A and B are shown apart, each in its own frame.
Chain A
Amino acid sequence: MSDKPRVGIVVFPGSNDVDDAAWALGAVGAEPVLVWHAEETLPPGLGAIVLPGGFSYGDYLRCGAIARFAPAMGAVSEFAAAGGHVLGICNGFQILCEAGLLPGVLRPNASLSFVCRDVDLRVERADTPFTSRCEPGQRLTIPVKHGEGCWFADPALLAELEARNQIVLRYESGSCPNGAVDDVAGVVNERGNVMGLMPHPEHAVDPLLGSADGALLLASLVDAARENAAVAV
């Protein structure tokens, strides 16, 4: 059997970063396994799951609001409830928030413009399964491309998240592309096994594209997936 951990990528109608996610996960040592949204069960032996970027179900109603009812999302929720690692990127982050697996919600960018550029991020926590290859305070350059990436939580919720240390990534001061509350770019759930972020690590795994910093995040996840596979979550 291959020593490459299997990482599922859920494919919704309108997901458009599936190929990049699969390529990038392969580049950092995983075996990507595509999971169609209509599947009610996950393929065997997954060490982690990625919800990729895109415009699932046309972003109708609210981004991610329809996708959370996809049959595969039931299986993803069970996977997360069992302690499995789930990473939502961009639209995947929106879906996880709408599904209640992550706190907050993503709203239209304050500028109302679609933003597509590299942003500077600060790693607030390096003790998560998604940032274990980073250093605390490390600066990462990773692209964003979204129209609705303005993460929002009301002051009470934000204070709770701060107290529980659930903010993992922030845009560097002055670099926030969307008006997110407190410059939040990525959060984890309370248990620490589900994370979402607006920037696209899968677009930053090769220096040829300007930065390979995204590989640190994906390789962290693959490390966790490898450990999970060993203990068979």
Chain B
Amino acid sequence: MKATVLVRPKSGILDPQGEAVESSLRQLGFDVGAARVGRVVDLEIDAASADDARAAVERMCEQLLANPLIESYEIEVRA
């Protein structure tokens, strides 16, 4: 089974990387609003079901992949 975790800076958290990307895009002539930069983690998981896989990834996020003080995450699981 495969899972993808999207980790994002929580709303309201200063994201200097996002600001740098935003200003660079504007310099290139793109008309963009706020840009936010996060992280993608692709995982291969040995799990009996999608629910089991999701539960395991949830624990991974809590313990390591995201810092709940500053980051939110979304989990996507597929066979």
Mark A160-195 against chain B: 1 for CB-CB distance below 8 A, else 0. Answer: 000000000000000000010000000000000000
| Inter-chain contacts of B17 with A (CB < 8 A) | 108, 112
* CB-nearest residue of chain B to A111: B16
Residues in chain A within 8 A of chain B (CB atoms):
61-62, 65, 69, 98, 104-105, 107-112, 150, 152-154, 157, 179
Q: Roughly how many angstroms separate A157 CA and B13 CA in the complex, as a whole number?
A: 14
Contact yes or no, B14 A104, CB < 8 A: no
* CB-nearest residue of chain A to B69: A105
Does B64 interact with chain A (Cβ within 8 Å)?
A: yes
Which of A98, A157, A179 touches B14 (beta carbons < 8 Å)? Answer: A179
Interface centre among A62, A112, A150, A154 (most CB of B within 10 A): A62
16 more contacts with CB within 8 A, not counting A105-B67, A152-B13, A152-B70, are: A61-B65, A62-B67, A65-B67, A69-B64, A105-B69, A107-B14, A108-B17, A110-B14, A111-B16, A112-B16, A112-B17, A112-B20, A150-B14, A152-B69, A179-B14, A179-B16
* CB-nearest residue of chain A to B14: A110
* CB-nearest residue of chain B to A68: B64
Contact yes or no, A153 B16, CB < 8 A: no
| Inter-chain contacts of B16 with A (CB < 8 A) | 108-112, 179
Contact yes or no, B70 A107, CB < 8 A: yes
What are 28 of the A-B contact pairs (CB < 8 Å)?
Answer: A61-B65, A62-B67, A65-B64, A65-B67, A69-B64, A98-B67, A104-B69, A105-B67, A105-B69, A105-B70, A107-B13, A107-B14, A107-B70, A108-B16, A109-B16, A110-B14, A110-B16, A111-B16, A112-B16, A112-B17, A150-B14, A152-B14, A152-B69, A152-B70, A153-B69, A154-B69, A179-B14, A179-B16
